[in-house]
Amino acid sequence: MKDTQDKLTALEQRNARVELDKAWETSLFRKILIFLLTYVVASIWLVVIENDQPFLNACVPAFGWIFSTVTIAPVKRWWIKNNTKK
């Protein structure tokens, strides 16, 4: 009986970790953090290579990432709908 209880406890702990990982992946905080990090890294690189407008041009990859995250969910739903065997 103890073995079954240990397995159940381990499964519940795993499920809690999975739920937290899923919450992190979809969180607004994570999206803003990635957007800002992308902007900062691109800005630094563009300053290093002496781009004429590094802070404006750094918006391109940052907003590109945001655009890709916004469009992925609808594209995924469309793909699943069209690739699910009926």
Residue 38's pLDDT band (boundaries 50, 70, 90)? very high
75 contact partners, CB below 8 Å, separation of at least 6: none
Structure tokens at 54: 């590094």
User: If you average pLDDT over residues 21-40, what whole number do you get?
Assistant: 94
C-beta atoms surrounding 85 within 10 Å: 3
Express each pLDDT in 39-86 by its tens digit.
999 999 999 999 999 999 999 999 999 999 888 888 988 999 999 876
The pLDDT score that the predictor gives to residue 69 is 87
